[in-house]
Structure 1
Amino acid sequence: MSGDRTPSDRADVCVVGAGPAGALVAHQLGKRGYDVVVLEAGERFDPADREERMERSIRPGHGPLDVWEMGGDRDAYSSSGGIEYPLNSARVKGVGGSTLHWQGMVMRLHEIDFELASRTGVGDDWPIAYDDLRPYYAAAESELGVAGAADNPFAPPREEPFPMPAFRPSYSDSLFAEACDDLGIAMHSVPNARNSEPYDDRGECVGFGTCKPVCPSGAKYSADVHVRKAENEGVRVVDRAPVQRLVHDAAGDSVESAVYATPDGREHTQEARAFVLAAGGVEIPRLLLLSASERYPDGLANSSGLVGRCFMDHLFAGMGGTLDEPTRQNHVGFITSESHQFYDEADEDVGPFKLEFLNYAGPSPVEMALSGDEWGDDLLDTLRDGYGGHVAMGALAGQRPRERNRVTLDPSVTDDHGNPVPEIQWSLDDRTRNTLRRANEIQRDVLTELGVDIEWSVGPENTGPAFHHMGTTRMGTDPAESVVNPELRTHDLGNLWVPSSSVFVTSGAMNPTLTIAALALKAADHVDEAL
């Protein structure tokens, strides 16, 4: 790795962000022969350090921000609105982005998600259909390496087999299966971006169980995989180079350069023919707002006034307790079974949601041992008495797009470069609360049928986000009602593309990374066509 952070000569493409979207775009364009520069705000983490980061993640002396070096003035933010939004609880700035610590679940959005207004009268339709993304979904599954099976009768149509076989159901999945059979609830496997067998020069999952926040073995996909592939194609990746603003030409028709800072306190200007914003659903609108000019006083690409607006996330509903028999929780660090049975039943009162059968309820033996001060036989007795009977279910619920939910700038708080920090203005609507309530009802039915002593629940009154940032540069055909067009190019500037969950028109209730990857591959084709 070179420490040179000076700008390259005018590049073909400048990509902002080295997470999954930026890495895939850079790799695709690099292998097609384009001169590509990637500017990443965070550092480049050494894969050799991941075992130490795993240890750090499970020791009680470290907080969740310590694992991936988050916090401080660089990552400052504000939150207002109906609910406090804990932005830093689940984000990483670095080469690899959020995939350094993600859960690794990769589902396609359903057909209904693209046609929600037509089918339910809620929200808006996307300007593209499921079939438009279908080939990109297949390509994304191949690029990331997805283990899955064609056993989900509620999934959208597909023709291609998954690149790898699905992971086997966990032991606790088998307990849930009997209760679900009695209630007429179908269970099925979960597509995971982790290797169930060797794939793409990476080994199969070895079961560390610490998938979130760190996979030491490399079996779970992270975007630094494609960063390395991009660099092998000649792409230049500059870390610790946060972009401060974008500068447009005199006419305001295109972006000329990205101004970025370096650790020595200097600013540099990177020129390019095309620009791709891939820094996530919070930092992308923030950068556009920070790039306000005389031509665009309300922020770049913001003639619609919608940059930062319609912020959406997925909300969690959950319930759990104890069972008077071993459940073998925490033997698997990820979800192996779900139910999407109720997803397409969405209407104007209840949105889409999916049920999750968790494999990590209650404390693990390691957590129990490290959090106490017992040793020897006393510790062994505690582990025998306190571990093994926990069981829980989760769910993700979609949120409708509302302009009042937004990412804006807070000029009263500045980051380490003196820029206003992002402010998250966030609240819930009644439809989302109804959806969480409905998920809780089904969870209670299943756990009661299983004989669980229910001890806790998370629902409409105490829910929290899944940290899936969506909707802040929404896609559409009308420049007055959207920020980017169906080709992911901004309406206002002809050489600026945004392949991100920020372009989502509706949230759905599926983890968004596979759709982000599909959009990145789609954007790469459009940038290629334009150049």
Structure 2
Amino acid sequence: MTHTTASRTDVCIVGAGPAGALLADTLAAAGHDVVVLEAGPRFDPEDRIAQMERSIRPGDSDHGVWEMGGPRDAYTSSGENFYPLNHARVKGVGGSTLHWQGMVMRLHESDFAATGPDGGEWPIDYDELRPYYASAEKELGVAGSVDNPFAPPRDEPYPMPAFAPSHSDSIFAEACEALEITTHSVGNARNSEAYDGRSQCVGYGTCNPVCPSGAKYSADTTIEKAEAKGVRVIAEAPVQRLETTASGERVEAAVYAKNGRTYRQEARQFILAAGGVEIPRLLLLSASDDHPDGLANSSGVVGRYFMEHLFAGMGGVLPRRETRQNHIGFNTTESHQFYDTDDPDIAPIKLEFLNYAGPSPVEMAMDAAEYGDELLETLQDSYGHELGIGALVGQAPRKENYIGLDTAKTDDHGKPVPDVHWRVGERERRTLARANEIQRAVMDELGVDIRWTVGPENTGPTYHHMGTTRMGTNPETSVVDARMRTHDVANLTIASSSVFVTAGAMNPTLTIAALTLRAADFVSESLKQT
């Protein structure tokens, strides 16, 4: 196979996930020539039904649907807590939105005012991002309602009405009312009605790992719009390093691998949109005489302050069969009542009521040994008893949590793999315990026989990679400025949750999208001035 590199272009974007897709479409609409380099393949939307069927077969895994694993995706985890990096990564056109849960909400005003233990703080506030949040909701297609009394202020309705509370949400509502816990709808990047050429949600219930109907937003649809505007997307082209000019002040080319050879893509502006692990890895791999500790790393904090959202939860069975467990595959009710707290020892908590707790009838049938009437009887007796409740807990930024390079292990191109150093701190453990207290009160009110608990000792990540190229005004303690341009390199911008200064406890994709649209304006302005 032959491959011809594109000529020098206005913008080279690394990564074709939600950030890269929005950048490409927005910048092309502004009249700029854009090339996107994506490490993974282009998946055919026509295969989604087959992918869904594979995902629910016994013995298959969710992430196996998206072909993750092997030397290309090798990593190590040498921190105190093991980090299963590949469990929820996707490399491909569309990125993480190919398999994400699809929940989207804005960070609270308090999140932008929060500081880390080292004093790091956001150089922007909520009001500065507010119009971009509205634009991001339109781009992704968000179904929601203004019924959340704890949400930050907004000026416009959601693009689509919220999904109605599920049947299991109505069961939780009884207990929450008794306990004076206020519940409200969830913002979802999936269609409650036909929107932007995509169908209304038809309820496959397999949202993670795959939405066969296309009702859930996936960034490959934005890539298609960008390509119609002239954007060139080169898939299966992992970038190996960024090369700078002789002065070291600007990026000159992205060197990428394709079909067993390497190529150079030159551009006036470069934007990294490959996520909170691969971005710092690429910067560290781009070390040179002018940038001996890695590109854009004069501060020494590239890869540092890695943050996650931690999961707390519990589930069990009701004595009566009425939960309709796993009837839909996404959340429709939450509570942000415990998010903004005056207690410095407790981090933000986002309480989630899980519609997908317990196996679905299809999963139960596929795992069963019986057939026919015997199977029907088993399903009638066993299905509909399970309930689950979850929570996201914010993690504080700490320098000792970081993404580094493991020089003893290499990928399929001979490059050092990412090494995740991660541990859960005492503040997070206290917050997880507090979340479990709230959850247990709800379950006890319902009379649930609790069968499983995830808390301080067995928590895990929700795979939201944040903080590894943090924003800031001080070049000695941050990687990018308020415009998301690196302090050290004039034509290099980073659009990712890697620029987050604090984590909050909200799913990050809507904030990524809002920051990305804002960064696109700055990049476009810079191109027009030069």
Same fold (TM over 0.5): yes
Task: Determine whether 1:314 maps to 2:312.
Answer: no
Matched, 1:305 2:303: no
Q: Could you tell me how far 1:81 is from its partner in structure 2?
A: 1.2
Residue pair 1:316, 1:396 contacting (<8 A) in 2 also: yes
Unaligned runs of at least 5 residues, structure 1: none
**What amino acid maps onto 1:59 in structure 2?**
R
Q: Is the 8 A contact 1:110 1:155 kept in 2?
A: yes
- Report the TM-score when normalising by structure 1: 0.98
Once residues 10 and 124 of structure 1 are traced to their aligned partners in structure 2, the CA distance between those partners, rounded to angstroms, is 37
**Correspondence for 2:279:** 284
The 8 Å contact of residues 106 and 513 in structure 1, kept in 2 or not, is answered as yes
Q: 1:4 to 1:108 in 2, by over 3 A?
A: farther
Please say if residues 5 and 238 of structure 1, whose CA atoms lie closer than 8 Å, have aligned partners that are also in contact. Answer: no
What displacement does 1:324 show? 1.8
8 A Cα contact 1:94 1:239, kept in partner: yes
Aligned to 2:76: 78
8 Å Cα contact 1:121-1:348 kept in structure 2: no
CA distance in 2, matches of 1:341, 1:64: 32
2:55 match: 57
Matched AA of 1:140: A
Within 5 A, what are the aligned runs for 1:49-448? 49-117=47-115, 124-262=120-258, 264-325=259-320, 326-345=322-341, 347-448=343-444
Partners in 2 of 1:244 and 1:130 — Cα distance? 36
SS at match of 1:219: coil
CA contact (8 A) 1:319 1:394 kept: yes
C-alpha distance in structure 2 between counterparts of 1:276 and 1:4, whole Å: 26
Aligned-partner residue type, residue 231 of structure 1: E
| C-alpha distance in 2 between matches for 1:68 and 1:506 | 30
Q: Aligned partners of 1:62, 1:182: CA distance in 2, in Å?
A: 41
The letter for the 2-side match of 1:283 is E
SS in 1 for 2:64: coil
TM-score, structure 2 normalization: 0.98
The amino acid of 2:228's aligned partner reads N
Q: Could you tell me whether the CA contact under 8 Å between 1:259 and 1:268 is conserved in 2?
A: yes
Q: Percent identity?
A: 69
Calculate the aligned-residue CA RMSD, in Å. 1.1
Q: Partner letter of residue 487 of structure 2?
A: H
Structure 1 counterpart of 2:72, one-letter code: R
Give the match's secondary structure for 1:344.
coil
Output the CA distance in 1 between the equivalents of 2:335 and 2:446.
16
Residue of structure 2 aligned with 1:527, choices 516, 523, 529: 523
Contact map agreement 2:76 2:417 (CA 8 A) in 1: yes
Task: Tell me the alpha carbon deviations over residues 456-482 of structure 1, each in whole angstroms, 9 at most, x when there is no partner.
Answer: 110000000000000000000000010
User: How big is the shift at 1:202?
Assistant: 0.5
Tell me if structure 1 keeps the 8 A contact 2:62–2:208: no
Please report how far the alpha carbon of residue 64 of structure 1 lies from its aligned counterpart in structure 2 after TM superposition: 2.8
How far apart, CA to CA, are the structure 1 residues paired with 2:438 and 2:2? 56
- What's the counterpart of residue 43 of structure 1? 41
Q: What do the CA deviations read for 1:97-136 (whole angstroms, capped 9, x no partner)? A: 000000000000000000113xx97853211000010000
How far is 1:450 from its partner? 1.2
* Aligned residue pair count: 526
Counterpart amino acid of 1:309? R
Query: Secondary structure of 1:67's match?
Result: helix
> 1:115 touches 1:124 (CA, 8 Å); kept in 2?
no
Equivalence map 1:492-531=2 (5 Å)? 492-531=488-527
Instruction: Name the aligned partner's letter for residue 274 of structure 2.
Output: A
Q: How far apart, in 1, do the equivalents of 2:40 and 2:428 lie?
A: 34
**1:173 and 1:155, CA in 2 relative to 1: closer, same or farther beyond 3 A?**
same
Does structure 1 retain, via aligned residues, the 8 Å contact 2:111–2:503? yes
Are positions 1:9 and 2:4 aligned together? Answer: no
Distance 2:516 2:3 in 1: 25
Query: Contact 1:123–1:400 at 8 Å: present in 2 too?
Result: no
Counterpart residue identity of residue 305, structure 1: G
1:4: Cα distance to partner? 6.3
Instruction: Write the distance in 2 (CA, Å) between the matches of 1:32 and 1:114.
Output: 29
Which structure 2 segments of 5+ residues have no match?
none
2:359 match: secondary structure: coil
C-alpha displacement at 1:5, in angstroms?
A: 3.8
Q: Which moved more, 1:299-308 or 1:382-391?
A: 382-391
Aligned residues of 1:414 and 1:420 also touching (Cα < 8 A): yes
| Structure 2: distance between partners of 1:347 and 1:283 | 35
Tell me the amino acid that sits aligned with residue 243 of structure 2. Answer: V
Could you tell me which amino acid in structure 2 is paired with residue 148 of structure 1? G
User: Is 2:432 the counterpart of 1:458?
Assistant: no
Could you tell me how far apart the structure 2 residues matched to 1:431 and 1:296 are? 36
Which segments of structure 1 move beyond 2 Å, counting only runs of 4 or more? 3-6, 120-125
Structure 2 match to 1:28: 26
- Name the amino acid aligned to 2:168: S
> Contact between 2:117 and 2:398, CA under 8 Å: does it hold in 1?
no
1:372 Cα offset (Å): 2.7
